[in-house]
Amino acid sequence: MKEYKFEVCANSVESCIEAEKGGAGRVELCASIPEGGTTPSYGEIVMARRMIGIKLHVIIRPRGGDFIYTPLELSTMVEDIRMARMAGADGLVFGCLTADGDVDMATMARLMAASDGLPVTFHRAFDRCRKPFTALEQLVGLGVKHILTSGQQPTAPEGAALLKELQVKSAGRITIMAGCGVNETNIRQLADSTGITEFHFSAREKKKSHSLLQNPEVAMGSTGIDEYTREVTTAARVRRTIATLLQG
């Protein structure tokens, strides 16, 4: 019988707590989910570590956009790694590319050294690599533990064909973790079609603001975003997603 593992992409301490209640074995703590995730604050990491007993992985990403980093941004990432380690992170999540779409080996080597033995996940920067199988071998050589990928498609179900190939070629040397668009409606089929045993999902639901006075005409950020609604992981949806796979 296969042993499945589940990581929840958590956008807050509240989401971390709900992920654990729902049965997840690990969370990836991120800020700025609409940008694909950026480094959370020190306080967020400390509180997450204090409130949950499952594994806590922290994304190290100074901004949204591409994965080509300046020397200044790289120095910031090194400091954020140090901060996350001090705050009690069990693992780190980052990825760096060259302008040509290859793994930036020199930059990755520096960040791996700063990680000082903590397990590292190469995040969905992988989905912008021009040669995924070459990238896989390079990441194995660097000592990366996980690759988070949607199979270079908008969602993991759409990328199932490449995910299956990556799973075969990984040959147990590195873990392929399917993520993006994974939920209770497709996780079973995704597992069956790819052979993958680790899954990354958010299991979030909309939560309305308690604010009685609302003025949606005045935006605090980008226009067009409902700032009186936020999305939070719920234990019920985590539990439902996991049960869909385990109970078949």
Residue 209 pLDDT class (50, 70, 90 cuts) = confident
Residue ranges of alpha helices (H) inside 11-66 are: 13-22, 42-51
CA dist list (Å): 8 to 29, 67, 101, 181: 8, 22, 27, 12
pLDDT digits (tens, 9 = 90+) for 135-193: 999 999 999 999 999 999 999 999 999 999 999 999 999 999 999 999 999 999 999 99
Structure tokens at 94: 């980052």
pLDDT digits (tens, 9 = 90+) for 40-52: 999 999 999 999 9
Residue 1 pLDDT class (50, 70, 90 cuts) = low
pLDDT digits (tens, 9 = 90+) for 9-40: 999 999 999 999 999 999 999 999 888 899 99
Q: Are strands 204-208 and 146-149 parallel, antiparallel or unpaired?
A: unpaired
Name the pTM for this structure: 0.93
Which residue type occupies 80? Answer: D
